[in-house]
Amino acid sequence: MYTLYIAIVIGICVLAFIGTLLVGKNVNNSIEQREVEGESPAAELQRSHKYEKNSSIRILTIIYLITFILTAIVSAIFIF
């Protein structure tokens, strides 16, 4: 039974890692696209405002919050 709990926690962590890689890949693609196209100061300002609303930090926070909660639940089951 303990092996199942450990496997669940490892699976949750792997899913969080994959989510992190996907977010990082998305950010890298957008950076590369901007480098190729070049940007005017107005476009940079617009991108800055967009980043404040649609930051990847929010997505990463959600991913790791879910990971922490699920891992805490499985750990509590394991302990008690």
Q: For 42-76, write each residue's pLDDT tens digit.
A: 777 887 777 777 778 888 999 999 999 999 999 89
* pLDDT value of position 22: 94
Higher pLDDT, 10 or 48: 10
- Name the packing angle between helices 2-37 and 56-79 (round to 10°): 170
Rg (CA), the chain: 18
Do residues 79 and 13 make contact, with C-beta atoms less than 8 angstroms apart? no
Provide the residue ranges of all domains of the chain, joining segments of one domain with +. Answer: 2-79
Indicate the pTM of the whole model. Answer: 0.73
Do residues 23 and 59 make contact, with C-beta atoms less than 8 angstroms apart? yes
